Amino acid sequence: MKAKLKLKNKKFIPVSIPHVEFDDIKAINSVLKKGWISSDGPEVKSFEKKFSKKLNRKYSIAVSNGTAALEIAIKSLGIKKNDEVIIPNFTIISNALAVIKQNAKPVLIDCDLTTWNMKVEDIEKKINKKTKALLVTHIYSFANDMDKIVKICKKYKIFLIEDAAEVIGLKYKNKLCGSFGDLSTFSFYANKQVTTGEGGMISTNNLSLYNKCKSLRNLCFGKSQRFNHDDIGWNYRITNIQATLGISQLKRLNSTVKKKMLIGKYYFKKLSKNKNLYMTPPKISYSENIYWVVGLVIKNKKILASKIIKKLNSYGIGARPFFWPMHEQKILKKMKIFLNKKYPNSSYLGRYGFYIPSYVKISNSQMNYVISIINKLL
C-alpha cells in the first residue's frame, strides 16, 4: 500500500514561470521613457533583424502571437478553397484553424510514439494533386527529421511551413529549427524559450513572401492610398515594448536552452527508471531534446493522465495534459472535417500524456519533491 505524502512545499509549484531577469525589466523601463510603445517603434525592426541573424535567415516579421504567424503564413502562400495542407494530428489546434480559415482542408498525419512528432513515413501517402503545403510542427522535445521532410517537399513541389514555436534554439543536426521552411513560424508566449508575453515571428529567405507577410500583418494598407486596402489582412502587429523584451531575451537564448536541457535530463535520470512511465530520451540521432516541456506518458491504460494531474495538484504540483488530437476536437467534429478517422498514437498521447514543472529557475529540491510524488502515484 502506497503511503500518503504530506505537502512539504508551502508554495504551489507551477508548471511554468516566465523567465524574466533584471536586464529585461531595465530594457522595458528604458523604452517606456523614450515614449516608443506602439508597433511603429525602432525596436520592432531591430528585433526582426536580430532574430533573422540568429537563424541565418534573410527576413523576419514580428507578429502578435504564434497563431497569427501561422494564419499569415498560410494565406501568404495563396492557399485557398479545395487546397489541402498536411499537418500533424498531435499538435495545437492553431495548425488546423489556420488552414480552415482559408477554406482549405487540413490532412492529418499521426505521430510517432518515440519522438511525438509526425510520422515522416506516412507523409507521401497523403500527398495528391490538391496538396499545396506541408506544415511540420516540432513537438515538445525533438526536431522532426528535416532532411527527409525537405526532400519530400522538393520531390512533390509543395511548400514547407515549419512551426518551430516550441523549439526556439534547438538544432536539427547543426542547423537551427525554423531555418528550413519556405516560411517558419515561432511563438513568444510566456512559457517559451524567448518570451514577449504574447508574440510571434515569421521567417523566410523569400523576398516576395516576406513582403506579402508584412502586408498581411498590417491590414494590407494600399501602397498609393493608405486607407484603400489591397487585400484582407489583420492587425497582427507586435508592440515596441514586446520587441524590446524579445531583444533582451534573445541575448540569453543559449543559456536558457542549456538550462532547460539540464532540467529535462535530471528528470529523465530519475523518472526513466519508473516502469509505469515513458519519457523522451535526452538525445536521438539527429536532435537533442530541448525539453520545452518535460512530458510523461502513462503506460497503464487504466490510469488516465487527468486523474494523475488532479492528484498532483492536491500535492501542490502543477501539471497539464498533452495536446488533444485534431480528429477528436469537438468543434472540428461538429464541422464534419475528420469523420470516421483513427489516429491511435495521437489518441493515446492525448489521454495518457501530461507534463510537469520545468521552468528555468526550478530548484533541485522542488524537482525532487515532484519526482517523489510521481513515483508514489505511479
pLDDT tens digits, residue range 91-126?
Answer: 999 999 999 999 999 999 999 999 999 999 999 999
Angle between the N-to-C axes of helices 42-55 and 240-250, in degrees from 0 to 180, rounded to the nearest 10: 30
pLDDT grade for 195, boundaries at 50, 70 and 90: very high
Residue 10: the pLDDT is 61
Residue 3: the pLDDT is 39
pLDDT grade for 7, boundaries at 50, 70 and 90: low
Residue 189: the pLDDT is 97
Average pLDDT over residues 256-269: 98
- pTM for the full model? 0.95
d(CA 98, CA 70): 6
* Average pLDDT of the chain, as a whole number: 95
Q: Which residues touch 38 (CB under 8 Å, ≥6 apart)?
A: 239, 240
pLDDT per residue as tens digits for the range 339-378: 888 999 999 999 999 999 999 999 999 999 999 999 999 9
**What is the share, in percent, of the chain residues with pLDDT greater than 90?**
90
pLDDT per residue as tens digits for the range 134-159: 999 999 999 999 999 999 999 999 99
d(CA 158, CA 160): 7
Q: Which three cell numbers stand for residue 276?
A: 509505469
Q: Is the pLDDT assigned to residue 221 strictly greater than 50?
A: yes
Architecture of the domain delimited by 253-377: Alpha-Beta Complex (3.90)
Average pLDDT over residues 175-187: 98
pLDDT grade for 6, boundaries at 50, 70 and 90: low
Q: Is the pLDDT assigned to residue 9 strictly greater than 60?
A: no
Residue 341: the pLDDT is 85
Assess if CATH 2.60.40.1930 describes domain 22-250. Answer: no
Average pLDDT over residues 259-267: 98
pLDDT per residue as tens digits for the range 369-378: 999 999 999 9
In the chain, what are the domain boundaries? 22-250, 253-377
**What is the share, in percent, of the chain residues with pLDDT greater than 70?**
97
Residue 41: the pLDDT is 85
